Amino acid sequence: MCPVKNIAEGREVRVLRLLGCGNMARRLCEVGVYPGARIRVLRNQGGPVMLGVGDARFAVGRGIAEKILVSDEE
Amino acid sequence: MNLSVALAGNPNTGKTSLFNALTGSNQRVGNWPGVTVELVEGTFRDDGGEIRVVDLPGTYSLGAASPDERVATEFLLSRSADLVAIVLDASNLERSLYLAVQILELDIPALLVVNMGDLAVSRGMDVDLDALSRRFGAPVVSTLARGDCARCASRGACVGCMSPRCLPQGDGVDSLKRAMRSAGALRRSPIRVPYGADVERAVSRLETAMSAAPRAASDEFGGMRMLALRLAERDPIVMDRIAEFSPDGEAGRILAEEDALLTERFGYGLDTATIERRWRFVSETASAVVAKGRVYRERLSVTDRIDRIVTSPFLGLIIFLAATWSVFKVTYLLGDPIAHVLETCVRLGGDIVLDALARMGAPAILSSLVSDGIIGGVGSVLIFVPQIMLLFAAIAMLEESGYMARGVFVMDRIMAMVGLHGKSFIPMIMGFGCNVPAIAATRILDNPRDRLLTLMVIPFMSCSARLPVYILFAGAFYGSNAPTVVFSLYVLGVVVAVVAARLLGGTLFRGEPNDLFIELPPYQAPTLRTVARSASESGLMFLRKAGTWILGGVVVMWAMANLPPGVPYAGEESLVGRLGHVIAPLFAPAGYGFWQAAVALVFGFFAKEVIVGTFGTLLGVSGTGLDAALAQFFTPLSAYAFLVMTLLYVPCIAAVAATYAETKSVRWTSFMVLFTVLAGYLASVAVFQIGRLLLPLFR
């Protein structure tokens, strides 16, 4: 388990937990970043992280990317 | 029988193109009960009567976390529509179904519209409509499956044009119209999402705790169970009213208790668990009703390929800067010739009016009001309307094409360095056009701190109203260096905004900017409709400003220049002259301590363009004569100090009104005024004093 901000570009991972971000956690869940969902890391070179959730693309700041815990193997 | 239908769906599902296809040109903006904003609605007729369709904002959920979601949710809760048509993207069914489940749970008569089936088929997917209807207990209709596109006239293959311009016609839309008519009458079975033992236990405890809640309140949410469920997922609308549903606070206690329990067991709380279970149901449904063939392909590859380039750390930034620069370049390139034509029109029109007045034997005072006041003041401002409209059209294009979100993505890191949010740069860029809509645009920032901080630095962005002042002085004093001087002022405005953001961020607005969270929509071609709307709205807003604040400023200034009766127009003995004499000494350290400059700055408060007109009036010359007249008062150095003041102090009275409208705070509004005046004054004095020390070194 590790934060999505440590995942290399181009990898697909499974979301495990959303650490205490309160409203932000709910918001992420609603757009499809919920525990168990598969997401792709499309851009991660410092600055915001771009996530691929199905066909949709979301940019999250590094603070949020630190709180999205994903499986680090697969 | 007349019927009202709400059109709901995710963004980019072709919802708006369906709306256009259904209602054609019978569209207008209307008010609905229960919702604070205006929504676009349209009508069409069938054998049964009139059907009124409301286009709800595209959202992913009813979570009410964003303004758009709140509007859609409030509208659905108000039960203003007889039927909700939920538009689903066939090629991306899973994502679409989440919102559909939430709407169906509210127990509103619903119709599922599976749109863009062609696209799904072309990607090797097939949606089993009957299975979907059975599982969700709602009628299903598919559109565009064999529909012709009126735009590209292609059958079936036209899905590429899923932009709102595409007008699907034929079978799809007709069957949708028929389905809307019949859907209300169909029997439906309530949807039952399996939330699992833990969530169900929490929900039934919450139900019991809220049993005292008025029946009407729970009905609004589709029954007691749904109310409890929405509370479990901490829906903001329900959380806001928790005291009404559970006056003794029992529901709140249970919520906290269950939350702690689940967090201990799963590592996430009740709200996450509820949403996660719903997603699981959606996911299972999607895999059961969608057959994926061997040729199944990922969509958005074009968008992804463009994003590889435009979101890369360095190249992305360069592309962004180039895009912004092009917007300004094009605005001036196209706007200037139009402005020249308008200028001639204003002058000719003014001459005709003055001629007419003279022939009718109008008193000199009236002619003076018209020529010195209205034509000189307001006319000179109207010339900028085309530029403003072009700038807003360009911004609307960036926005609708999807590129703006990428701009936010690459700018976020830089904005964060100065303590601003990635999204802050959108209102800041708009500030170059006009500060007033820029101030309103700060609404895109969710965090009050980010929003106020952005609001306080927008006045330093050099709006187009300041340009005429720069042009006048630059032409009079700097010859071939004029463009550099004007450019330096734009840069200085940005520098001061950055310094101010750092300064305020470290004092009044402590804390970090909110973390970025934004969707990067797929790229699409901007539509003429949206771009034209944005341009005309900004043009109208500017005309309103010209007709109110600028006209008012000009008339007050003209009157004060004529009073007390009998004094020479705008002379030292007039009210403006006396006012100027009082203030002028303050500006002596900045190098322009004479009364005409003071008066110009005071009236520039109405609108910066008025400064040019004021000098014209006070010095008794206009056009090219003004250059020579100004040279008697200013040195190149003091002229620059004056321009710095013009750049930085309060943009205009309309901007002050906009700041109040957005903050609803007299304190913050006064702070903006004082802060900008002080910044302008100090910078202006610094320029003059430092310049005076340094200039001899270069001689």
B496, B665 in Cβ contact below 8 A? no
Tell which of A14, A21, A30 to mutate to test the B interface (max B CBs under 10 Å): A30
* Any A CB within 8 A of B355 CB: no
Tell whether the torsion through CA atoms of B207, B212, B215 and B219 is positive or negative: negative
Rounded to the nearest angstrom, the minimum Cα separation between B447 and chain A is 12
Higher pLDDT, B126 or A36: A36
B441, B430 in Cβ contact below 8 A? yes
Under DSSP, the state recorded for B372 is: I
Higher pLDDT, B640 or B524: B640
Rounded to the nearest angstrom, the minimum Cα separation between A26 and chain B is 6
Kindly report which listed range (A27-36, B491-500, B606-615) carries the lowest average pLDDT score: B606-615
Q: Which residues of chain A make contact with B268, given a CB cutoff of 8 A?
A: 17-18, 25, 35
Which residue from B39, B40, B1, B38 is spatially nearest to B22, judged by alpha carbons? Answer: B40
Q: Which residues of chain A make contact with B515, given a CB cutoff of 8 A?
A: 24, 60-64
Residues 6+ apart with CB under 8 A from B466: B489, B608, B646, B647
B165, B17 in Cβ contact below 8 A? yes
B32 falls in which pLDDT band (50, 70, 90)?
Answer: low
Higher pLDDT, B391 or B501: B501
pLDDT of residue B162: 38
pLDDT digits (tens, 9 = 90+) for B245-289: 888 888 889 989 998 898 888 878 888 899 999 999 999 999 898
Chain A residues 8-47 within an 8 A CB cutoff of chain B: 16-18, 23-32, 34-37, 42-43, 45-47
Between CA B286 and CA B463 the distance in angstroms is: 51
- Helix, strand, or coil here: B152? coil
Higher pLDDT, B62 or B511: B62
Tell which of A1, A5, A34, A62 to mutate to test the B interface (max B CBs under 10 Å): A34
pLDDT of residue B461: 93
Judge: A18–B518 Cβ closer than 8 Å, yes or no.
no
Kindly report which listed range (B2-6, B37-41, B121-125, B514-518) carries the lowest average pLDDT score: B121-125
* Any A CB within 8 A of B387 CB: no
Higher pLDDT, B316 or B189: B316
B645, B677 in Cβ contact below 8 A? no
Judge: B408–A59 Cβ closer than 8 Å, yes or no.
yes
Looking at chain A, which residue has its C-alpha nearest residue B304? A42
CA torsion B287-B289-B292-B293 (nearest 10°) is 150
Give the Cα-Cα-Cα angle B282, B287, B293 (nearest 5 degrees).
150
Residues 6+ apart with CB under 8 A from B538: B388, B389, B391, B392, B433, B434, B437
pLDDT of residue B421: 87
Chain B residues 27-86 within an 8 A CB cutoff of chain A: 60-61, 63, 65
* pTM across the whole model: 0.77
Rounded to the nearest angstrom, the minimum Cα separation between B519 and chain A is 4
pLDDT of residue B549: 73
pLDDT digits (tens, 9 = 90+) for B382-422: 776 787 788 788 888 888 888 989 998 998 888 888 888 88
pLDDT of residue B154: 45
- For B312, other C-beta atoms within 10 Å of its C-beta total 15
Average pLDDT over residues B42-55: 87
B497, B477 in Cβ contact below 8 A? no
B85 falls in which pLDDT band (50, 70, 90)?
Answer: very high
Between CA B102 and CA B275 the distance in angstroms is: 10
Higher pLDDT, B178 or B32: B178
B156: pLDDT strictly greater than 70: no
B214: pLDDT strictly greater than 90: no
Average pLDDT over residues B168-184: 70
B161: pLDDT strictly greater than 50: no
Ramachandran sector of residue B472 (left: φ over 0; alpha: ψ -120 to 50; beta: rest): alpha
B157: pLDDT strictly greater than 50: no
Q: Write the residue in B272, B313, B405 that is nearest to A18 by C-beta.
A: B272
pLDDT of residue B187: 61
Judge: A45–B313 Cβ closer than 8 Å, yes or no.
yes
Between CA B497 and CA B343 the distance in angstroms is: 32
Average pLDDT over residues B490-509: 88
